[in-house]
Structure 1
Amino acid sequence: MIQESLNRSRLKDDVYLFRADQDVLYQFGDDTARVGPQAVEVGWPGLKGSQFAEGIDAALP
């Protein structure tokens, strides 16, 4: 079950999917996972050591 998703405007067909402390960069155009699954703190190193490294519940572009 996906807990949160985030689409970045510069990556039109890409969406980040989050569940617990894991994320996947998914590409709709190719129907493939480009990166992951991986720990949130690996894909988002600025979150390392924060409460968000344990899971993201909501996101805004």
Structure 2
Amino acid sequence: MGTDDDGVIELPGPAGQAWFWTDHWPQREREVDAHVASGRVTVHEDDEDFLSHLDDLDARG
């Protein structure tokens, strides 16, 4: 990130991706990394497996 001669702040990356540079985003990434490291994730081999898992979760209420 920098400032040009007119005082305009230049952000790293396209404006449509500004969410990526917020403080919130890296925190959420660290939370996901912690879940993966502790094994609190479910990996699905295909779409049907994933949708079946969602149905099971929905049935549990």
Quickly name the TM-score band, shorter chain normalised.
Answer: under 0.3
Kindly indicate which of the two structures has a greater share of residues assigned to helix: 2
More strand by share: 1
Q: Which is higher, the Rg of structure 1 or of structure 2? A: 2
Q: Greater relative contact order: 1 or 2 (C-alpha under 8 angstroms, separation 6 or more)?
A: 1
